[in-house]
Structures are given as C-alpha cells and as structure tokens.
A and B are shown apart, each in its own frame.
Chain A
Amino acid sequence: MEATVGEQERILASPWGGGTNPFGTSWGKFMMWVFIVSDALTFAGFIVAYGFMRATAPAWPAQDEVFSMGLITFMTFALISSSCVMAIAVGAAPQGRRSEAVKYLWLTILGGTIFLGSQAYEWAHFIDEGYRPWFNPVMPEVPQFPAAFYVMTGFHGFHVFTGLVLLLYTVIRAHMGKYTGDRVEIAGLYWHFIDVVWVFIFAFFYLL
C-alpha cells in the first residue's frame, strides 16, 4: 500500500478521512445513539427471558382478563402522543423557536407523567389483587407471570422516570436561556427510544 499524493487528497476530501465527524452530529448525540443500542439489548434480554419463560410455562393467563385493556390503551396513547409532541419540540429547537420548543417540551412531560401515573395506578391495582413477584393468586402454577410483569414494566417505568428527569432538566435549562437545539434532540432521542421499547412490551406482554 504505497502512499501517494493522490490517495492523500482523496482521503482528506472524504468525510471519513479524519479531522471531522463523519456523521456531522455532536459527540453527545452520537453517544446517545450508541447508548440506545446498548440499552435496547438490556430490554431485549428481558423480552427474550420473558418469551422463554412463557414458552416453558404450563399455562399463561389471558391478559385481557387480568388487565384493564382500556387503561393500557390509554397510557400507550399518552406515551405515543408525548413522543409526537417531542418531535415538534425537536423540530422547533434548532431553528431558535424557543417558546414553541419549551411549550412542547412541557406537553411531553405531561404525557410522560400521565403514563407514569397510569402505571402507578395499574401497579397499585395489581398489588391489591394479590399479585406478588413470587405469587400469582389466580394461576398459582405460573408465578412467572407477575414476576415478568413487575420486572419488565418496572424497568421500563424506571426509564420513563429518568427520561422525565432528563426532560425537566432540559426544559429548565431552556427557561434559563441556556439551551441548545442539540440538547433537546438528545433528550428527544432517549424519549423516542423509551416509546419504542414500550411498543414492544405492549405488543409482546399485553397483546400476544
């Protein structure tokens, strides 16, 4: 591989030739992407484990008899709507439309809070009915059902909670005028990710 002047010119002209970020993003945003891939694998671990347990379980409860599907649909709707308004905030932020971005960020937080509140209600209800991580009052032969429920929705709820903290931080910074469109976008990426994960949990745990 003999070094030539021509090769050097070609490399310097290429976005991958060094001296510049080939993705044209900030490091923070790129890092968030890598983190999301990594975190997705953690959720994948849970979902696969859940699938394994369900496949080996002697029976599995019918979800619509256990859960109020209306509530689940409502909270799913709230979360997906929050993702939509987040997208508007992300669109407005880099163009300097600050008040619009702030408004939609607050709406996102509202959607996330509704979701988390509904989840808390669902958990309280579930616990009231006697479901414990180690005990299923309706089908005692499958304690894995409440266990998977608590772990999967709990871990996801924890992510929603951290997402809300991140959004609050972003919106407060925005109010202080110390905000960049990039920060909003990074928070947005995380929020959309949480949303996508919920779609998988909703599909695999509640619907299938």
Chain B
Amino acid sequence: MTTHDEHAHPELGFWRKYIFSTDHKIIGIQYIITAMAMAVVGGVLSMLMRLQLGWPGTLWPSLENIFPTGFAGGVMEPGFYLSLVTMHGTIMVFFLFTAVLTGGFGNFLIPLQIGARDMAFPLLNALSYWTFLLSCITILGALFATGGPPLGGWTAYAPLSAVPAMGPGQGDGMTLWIVAIALFTASGLMGGLNYVTTLLTMRTKGMSMMRLPLTQWALFITAILGTLAFPVLLAAGILLTFDRIGGTSFFVPAGLFLADGTLIDHSGGHPLLWQHLFWFFGHPEVYIVLLPAMGIASDILSTFARKPIFSYKMMVYSMSAIAFLSFIVWGHHMFLSGMNPLLGSLFTLTTLLIAIPSAVKTFNWIGTILGARIQFTVPMLFALGFVSTFISGGLSGIFLGTSASDIAMHDTYFVVGHFHLVMAVAPLFAAFAGIYFWFPKMFGRMMNMTAGKVHFWISFVGVNCVFMTMHASGVAGHLRRIYDPTQYAFLEPVYGMNQFISISAFVLGAAQILFLVNFFASIWFGPKASVNPWNATTLEWTVPSPPGHGNFGPELPVVERWAFDYSVPGAKEDFVMQTEAPARVESS
C-alpha cells in the first residue's frame, strides 16, 4: 500500500525505477512496449502469409537464408504457412490485444483515473507483468522449437493439438504453446484480481461507480470477464496436456490414423469437447479485447466532440449486457462442427441478441459526435476509425452468427475479413487512439501529430482495402487456411484480389513503422506536454505529465462530478474538471 510519505523517499535507481518497478504506470508502459514488440513479430508473420497468398510458389532465395526449413528450396513450405497462421493468431489475440488493452491501459489508467496511488497489490501487479513476459518468451520459443512452430491454428483444435505425432510442429512447438497460454492465464488472473479489487475498493472520495470514465467501466467488466473465462481455458489446457503427455483420451476419438498410416492408441474421447471448452473461453475473449477498446473510444470521442457522452448509463448497461451475452453464444463458432439444428437456432438467437447492445453503443457514439464541432486530432481520428471498423466488421458478423448463412460462409475469407475488422482492427485503432491520447501522460512529451495523421489515413484506407476485399473473396469461395489458392481452379477469379490484398497489406504494414518511429522518437525528442494538453476532464489530467510516484500530491483528489462535463453552459471553459466543485448556487 502506498502512502503519501513515500514522496519523501530518495529517487530510485534506474533498475528499480524502470525495470523492476512496482509502480503501476511503469508496469503499464512495460506491457505496452512488450506488446508492441510482439505485434512486430505477429505483423511480420502476416506479411509472410500475404507473400505466399499473393504469389504462391514464387522463389524467394533471400528468405531461404532466414528460414532454412520454412523456405526450403526458396519456396514456402505448406507446414510453415500453417505455422504462420497459428502463430500470427496466437500472438495477436493474446500477446498484443489482450496485453496492450487490459495489461497496458488497465495498469496505466486504473489508479490514475479513479484517484488511487497505485493498484491494491503492486507486487502482484509486477509479478503479473513478469509472468506475461515469460509467456511471451515461451511463445516466441515455439517459433524455434524442434519440428517447427505449432500449426493447428490459434484455436488449437483437437485432435490435431492433442496428439504430438500429428505433425512436425505439434510436438515441442505445441507444448510450448500450451505452456505459454497457461502462463498468460496466470498473468491475466493476477492482473484481473488487482483490477477488480482496485476499481471497487480504491476509488477516491466522490468517485462513485456512475462517475467513472467509461474506460474504467470497460476495464472493470473486462477484468470480470477475464477472471471467469480464462480459468476454463486453463482447465481445457490441462486436459489437453494430459492427452498429449499422459496418454489420456479426453479429446481423441478411437480409430484415428496418422498421415503415415499408423493407428493412434487412443479411444473414447471427443474433439467437440475441446471446441466447447475453448469457445466458452474464446467468445468472451473477443469482448475482453473489444470492451476496453469501446471504453477508450467512448472517452476520446466525447473529449474531442467537446460534448458529454450520449447516454452514459446505457453505455454501462450495454457493456454489461454484452459481457453477459458473451458467455452464451460460443456455439456460433461450431455451427459446422456437428450441432443439433435446434441448438444452432438457439445460439443464433443469443448471438443476434448481442447486436442490440452493440447497436445501442454505436448509436450513442454517433449521438455523441452528432452536431459536434469535432476536433480532428489524431486520437479522435483513430477513435472514429474504431467506430467505423466496428460497424463494418459487426455487420458482416450478422451473416456469420446466423446458422443458415454461416453454413455457406464458414471457413472462408469472409470470416477472416469479419473478425479482423471487428476484433483486430477496431481494438487496434482504439489502442492507437489511446496511445496517442495518453502518450503525453506516459512520457511527458507529445507525439508528432502530422506523422500521426499520415499513419491514420494510410492505416484506415489500408485496412479497408485488405479486409473488405477479403469479404468479397470469401463470398467467392476462397477457403480460409489454404496454402495455395492456385490449386483450386474455381478460385482463379480471385487471384488478382489476393495480390491487391497483399500489396495493401504491405503498405499497411509499412505505415506501422512510421508509428513505431514516431513513438520511440517522441519519448526523447517530442515537444514537452502540458498537464492537460487535450483539455480533458478526468483525474489523470490534473497531475503533472508524467505523474510522480504515488500519482497525486499529499492529498488525494475529491471528485465532484462525472467525467463528461464538456461545453457546460455558463462554465468558463468548454470543459470542467472532475475535481471542480459545483457552484454553491442552490439547485432550483
């Protein structure tokens, strides 16, 4: 527990201050930078995939030097392609999105925005980061495992994942995958315990739940989702490990043959069980990624529209509704895995119900910016980009959530386009918005806004070129995980589309280098930031940039109003800080 006499403590050395820190701000930044490093790896993997899909079978002698087995003979190996798919998905879902949004922004923002000096258990928090780093190293280790990285997809479907002899990467690579995910789960649990406890018990005076910024509500609900969903994945992972090393048959049915004709010595298990357990975690995971993005976007939209958020209460209720519904929709991932059609209709119903709270949120965002004199800053552009991609990606989800149309679309690029827009690009844009927005508070300097605008526009056009086109190629029948589309004559019309997607993806990838350069250069060379560069209202903007250890001065702030007092009639400025007491005029 941090008390204010710690202000008198001498400055800590570099290692204690920036590396082995228990300060939530440093831990948050550590999460963000680690996740950025993982994003670079995940991004490079996707570029390699696009290289193969755009120009299948082309000779790349230079790549053979880097990946002697993956590009044996200069051409990408099919198994290597599947490993790329698997590792890209795993790294991006867990080690980028979950980490940057809950680990990064959660740690950095929760104490600052609720008026606390640190998390409830700073040491547990630090432990959570170091466990996360260990899991990052483990998953990167899977890239170099004997036999290659796992190739069963980020969903690790059994029995492919349950029998080490199934494929070259399903041995050590898959084992490392499970270990990495288990470590990640442990790290997430430590973080989640801290977030829930801190948010409920450490709010400063006057910070009632209904005065929390929406980012905080989102992080709170996300932490609850995480503590409920991840343990189920852990249970599934333990059972999977037993299948792999203990010889049990939880997920492996009888009568399976390996590619070389050997009969597997397992019987009685059921691959569907893995899918049920995985997706019971997997669908809430979508919202573990999306909810913080929604919260961040809501706060930023309101700030730069200079208007209060439209219908704060409905925002909170709809987030809660989404969180609840996310636990009863997992079957829509399994419509084609063998499901009673009646059950399929039920899952269709619950899935489409999510459209209601999602639409409530979307209309509220539009209501917030409607008629506003919008300040088109970089964070605002990315927040608007979030809303846009959330709508595009969300709408195509309706086709996939309906079992009848999903039967046609399943396992095509329509699915790939859909989930990338809605749960990869949208959260990514919100994360960018958050980084541009809170960067001054993190490092005391501003990022370069011209570079930021270029970054936004290339990214925004780029993602639409990539993922909207994928919707089209998916409807044309382009299957999801195929290594070489030229093997299928009926796909001939989409070869051109594939090349267009690939070129767009390369441009999109290159634009992210601009962001990375901007980020790291601005840490040292950016213009100094003032206390409140965006004229925002929340508590973190009342303290110096960057805030000192313990965040607030000798006294914790007292909150007097909600977080959205923008353009209040009669106020001196177009924003009123949360700490500003209401006028002592008797209310009429």
Q: Which residues, 234 to 250 on B, are CB-close (under 8 Å) to A?
A: 234-236, 238-239, 242, 246-250
A26-34, A117-125, A184-192: which lies at the interface: A26-34
CB–CB A49/B250 < 8 A:
yes
Cα–Cα distance between A65 and B267 once the two chains are bound (Å):
23
A181 within 8 A of B: no
CB–CB A12/B197 < 8 A:
no
Contact flag A49-B197 (CB < 8 Å), given A6-B587, A147-B250: no
Residue of A nearest to B234 (CB): A42
List, in ascending order, chain B residues with CB within 8 A of A141's CB. Answer: 267-268
Cα–Cα distance between A57 and B250 once the two chains are bound (Å):
11
Cα–Cα distance between A21 and B561 once the two chains are bound (Å):
20
Residue of B nearest to A42 (CB): B231
Quick one: which of B229, B249, B561 contacts A147, CB cutoff 8 A? B249
CB–CB A19/B565 < 8 A:
no
CB–CB B560/A3 < 8 A:
yes
Cα–Cα distance between A133 and B27 once the two chains are bound (Å):
42
Cα–Cα distance between A50 and B227 once the two chains are bound (Å):
22
CB–CB B193/A23 < 8 A:
no
Instruction: Name the residue among B206, B231, B565 with the largest chain A CB count within 10 angstroms.
Output: B231
List, in ascending order, chain A residues with CB within 8 A of B568's CB. Answer: 2
One digit per residue, 1 when the CB lies within 8 angstroms of any chain A CB and 0 when it does not, for chain B 209-253 equals: 101000000000000000111111011101100100011111000
Q: Which residues, 1 to 39 on A, are CB-close (under 8 Å) to B?
A: 1-8, 11-12, 14, 16-19, 21-23, 27, 30-31, 34-35, 37-39
How many residues on chain A are close to B (CB under 8 Å)? 51
Quick one: which of A22, A35, A147 contacts B242, CB cutoff 8 A? A147
Known: A1-B562, A27-B201, A133-B248. 14 other contacts (CB 8 A): A3-B560, A18-B206, A34-B192, A37-B227, A41-B232, A42-B231, A43-B235, A44-B232, A45-B234, A45-B236, A48-B276, A135-B247, A144-B249, A151-B242
A159 within 8 A of B: no
Quick one: which of A8, A23, A134 contacts B246, CB cutoff 8 A? A134
List, in ascending order, chain A residues with CB within 8 A of B197's CB. Answer: 27, 30-31, 34
CB–CB A34/B242 < 8 A:
no
Q: Which residues, 264 to 300 on B, are CB-close (under 8 Å) to A?
A: 266-270, 273, 276-277, 280
CB–CB B193/A49 < 8 A:
no
A132 within 8 A of B: yes
Quick one: which of A49, A133, A155 contacts B273, CB cutoff 8 A? A49
List, in ascending order, chain A residues with CB within 8 A of B267's CB. Answer: 141, 143
B207 within 8 A of A: yes
Looking at chain B, what size class is its interface with the partner chain? Answer: 35 or more
A interface, CB within 8 angstroms of B: 1-8, 11-12, 14, 16-19, 21-23, 27, 30-31, 34-35, 37-46, 48-49, 52-53, 56-58, 132-135, 141-144, 147, 151, 155
Cα–Cα distance between A42 and B249 once the two chains are bound (Å):
19
List, in ascending order, chain B residues with CB within 8 A of A142's CB. Answer: 268
Quick one: which of A12, A53, A132 contacts B205, CB cutoff 8 A? A12
Main secondary structure, interface of A, reads helix
CB–CB B211/A49 < 8 A:
no
List, in ascending order, chain A residues with CB within 8 A of B565's CB. Answer: 3
Instruction: Name the residue among B203, B227, B250, B266 with the largest chain A CB count within 10 angstroms.
Output: B250
Could you tell me the distance in whole angstroms from the C-beta of A28 to the nearest C-beta in chain B? 8
CB–CB A53/B273 < 8 A:
yes
List, in ascending order, chain A residues with CB within 8 A of B308's CB. Answer: 1
List, in ascending order, chain B residues with CB within 8 A of A147's CB. Answer: 242, 246, 248-250
Quick one: which of B189, B206, B234, B312 contacts A19, CB cutoff 8 A? B206
A selection of 27 A-B contacts at a CB cut-off of 8 Å is A1-B562, A2-B582, A3-B565, A3-B576, A5-B581, A11-B208, A11-B211, A18-B204, A18-B208, A19-B203, A21-B202, A23-B201, A30-B197, A38-B192, A38-B231, A42-B235, A45-B232, A49-B273, A52-B270, A53-B250, A133-B242, A133-B246, A133-B248, A134-B248, A135-B247, A143-B268, A144-B250
Cα–Cα distance between A21 and B121 once the two chains are bound (Å):
15
Could you tell me the distance in whole angstroms from the C-beta of A138 to the nearest C-beta in chain B? 14
Quick one: which of A5, A18, A58 contacts B203, CB cutoff 8 A? A18
Cα–Cα distance between A133 and B565 once the two chains are bound (Å):
62
Could you tell me the distance in whole angstroms from the C-beta of A82 to the nearest C-beta in chain B? 25
List, in ascending order, chain A residues with CB within 8 A of B196's CB. Answer: 34
List, in ascending order, chain A residues with CB within 8 A of B235's CB. Answer: 41-46, 49
Residue of A nearest to B245 (CB): A133
B115 within 8 A of A: yes
CB–CB B203/A38 < 8 A:
no
List, in ascending order, chain B residues with CB within 8 A of A45's CB. Answer: 231-232, 234-236, 277, 280
Residue of B nearest to A29 (CB): B197
B329 within 8 A of A: no
Quick one: which of B207, B236, B582 contacts A3, CB cutoff 8 A? B582
Residue of A nearest to B308 (CB): A1
Cα–Cα distance between A40 and B250 once the two chains are bound (Å):
21
